[in-house]
Amino acid sequence: MKNISAVYPGSFDPPTNGHIDIIKRAAKIFSEVVVAVTHNCNKHHMFSLEERVDMMSRSVSEIKIVKVSSFSGLLVDYLDKTESFCIVRGLRALSDFEYEFQMALMNRKLKRDVETIFLVPDQEYTFLSSSTVREIASLGGDFKNFVPAPVYEKIIKIKGK
């Protein structure tokens, strides 16, 4: 088996149990998984880039082959820096596919040897998204079962201020 690393990019604002599920699935396939937290100045994030990297790092600390970093700019340029050609993306529903398919084709157009691997999370996470968690938390709902413990603690801490 080849040693192949993969990059799992996303804003992870905040990381959810669905993200962790995809990371665990990717860790069964690849020799290394780089979780690449994106910096996108066009988005208004709940958490800073540093907070998102920290929450993700603490959430995956027990998965030894996973590294967490951040980047801005084109994903294909980041792949060059990590010497990877594989992108991991999660698909929750058919509605995710169209967007992800377009992005996969664009990344391949920008860098010919890029491959995108789509992974499907456990069915208990197919409804889950970061935006849903943010909304539930902002409205005072119970979101504890939707996020890793470090993320839950961070959101509760912010809400307590």
List, for residues 17-46, the tens digit of each pLDDT value: 999 999 999 999 999 999 999 987 777 889
Task: Please determine, for residue 75, whether its predicted confidence score (pLDDT) is greater than 70.
Answer: yes
> What's the CA gap between 38 and 56, in Å, rounded?
12
List active site positions: 19, 43, 92, 130
Q: What would the pLDDT profile of 81-107 be if each residue is shown by its tens digit?
A: 999 999 999 999 888 899 999 999 999
Give all strands of the β-sheet with 66-71 in edge-to-edge order.
66-71, 32-38, 5-10, 86-90, 115-119
